[in-house]
Amino acid sequence: MQRDPFTDLAARYTEVRARSTALCAPLAPEDHVPQPVADVSPPKWHLAHTTWFFEALLLTPAWPGYRVHHPGYGYLFNSYYEGEGPRVPRAQRGALSRPTVAEVHAYRAHVDAAVQAWLATRPTPEWLERLELGLQHEQQHQELLLTDIKFILGHQPLRPAYARADTGTVDPQHEHAAQDAGPLRWIAHPGGVVAIGHAGPGFAFDNEGARHELLLRPFGIANRLVNNAEYAAFIESGGYERAQHWHAEGWDWRNASGERAPMYWFRGEGGAWWHQTLAGPQPLPADAPVTHVNWYEACAYADWAGARLPTEAEWEAAATGAGMPWGRRWEWTASAYAPYPGFRRATGSVGEYNGKFMVNQQVLRGMSFATPPGHGRSSYRNFFHPPLRWQYTGIRLARS
């Protein structure tokens, strides 16, 4: 019996939306509101914003007669879409005591019911592509949601734990699991003409295309990520005290921030390193990949180690053809976030999704512990400003 694609899509929609709710299940209502820094959004805002995306960019234009749940929610939960009108400034999302958490869940239920009813009308492929974009967008926010929750709880003096085994979403034992404890090995790549960018069937964001060829010189890339013990050796050797390892902006960041270790690291009794995890404070595991480092720190470590960061083209070529394991951390690359040859922005508000951010940011490749299942691929281009490190970012070395 042939499967109905609309039924399958309705089931997938329900599954993706339920995961966002499950990620928030361990939280108290009070945990849904704080915004310690501008880059971290409150969990309540994530739940509402992803719902607004379906309402504003799918239901309203695609289904004549749809009535928005609340006329003021667009102003509250639009993120950065200029084409959708004014919005609350990003740094003020934590000031929104209303709507309540319960009202946000009612908003989600209203939109979910509408999307399912709309799917029953068997919409055109064009609008089904928009629905897929909304699901992929929600999965991106699920990763942001988890890392934002970690920041909110991890920067409280009581250092509370988040993870709870019955959510069915994340296993805290995997957050900092050990990787290959053997010595770092170099995987040789012959270089030559390689093709990068998304190809074939399946979803990809617009910034993953157009697929194109370029010439690489021969290079070597590490078989594994830099681990905590190796990064601790960088610290103990005075890596944060030697300007020669740092970019000028990185040294300025180091001086202004006062940071001398990755985010969430702290000294325990006897001076041993500990770190804050989703399960609360834990001794730092030596063989786990280092995480929560920014691009400046990654570059400084690579220079100290006599290596460099890979370009994103080198990373993709190695990930698809050299047998390089990946997927534990978002891996900083040496590449600035810029459009591929042939990239074109979509028309309308969805054209604001990626293209307008192609300036002053660095590309990260791979995926992380927090990436939802099925959301990663070797052509995925993540991007962040160099000082940011609250995501599960890591370091893979390369050399010419």
Token digits for 31? Answer: 């945990």
Report the C-alpha gap between 172 and 175 in whole angstroms: 5
**In whole angstroms, what is the distance from residue 326 CA to residue 377 CA?**
10
Tokens of 154: 């991890």
SS3 category, 207: helix
DSSP symbol at 309: P
Sign of CA dihedral 358, 361, 367, 372: negative
The CATH number that domain 175-399 falls under is 3.90.1580.10
Q: Report d(CA 107, CA 109) in Å as an integer.
A: 5
Q: Is 139 helix (H, G, I), strand (E, B) or coil?
A: helix
pLDDT tens series, the chain, 400 aa: 567 888 999 999 999 999 999 999 999 999 999 999 999 999 999 999 999 999 999 999 999 989 999 999 999 999 999 999 999 999 999 999 999 999 999 999 999 999 999 999 999 999 999 999 999 999 999 999 999 999 999 999 999 999 765 566 788 888 999 987 689 999 999 999 999 999 888 999 999 999 999 999 999 999 999 999 999 999 999 999 999 999 999 999 999 999 999 999 999 999 999 999 999 999 999 999 999 999 999 999 999 999 999 999 999 999 998 679 999 999 999 999 999 999 999 889 999 999 999 999 999 999 999 999 999 999 999 999 999 999 999 999 999 9
Contacts of 57 (CB under 8 A, 6+ apart): 81, 84, 130, 134, 349, 350
pTM of the model: 0.96
Burial letters 364-390, b for 16+ CB under 10 A, else e: bbbbbbbbbeebbebbbbbbbebbbbb
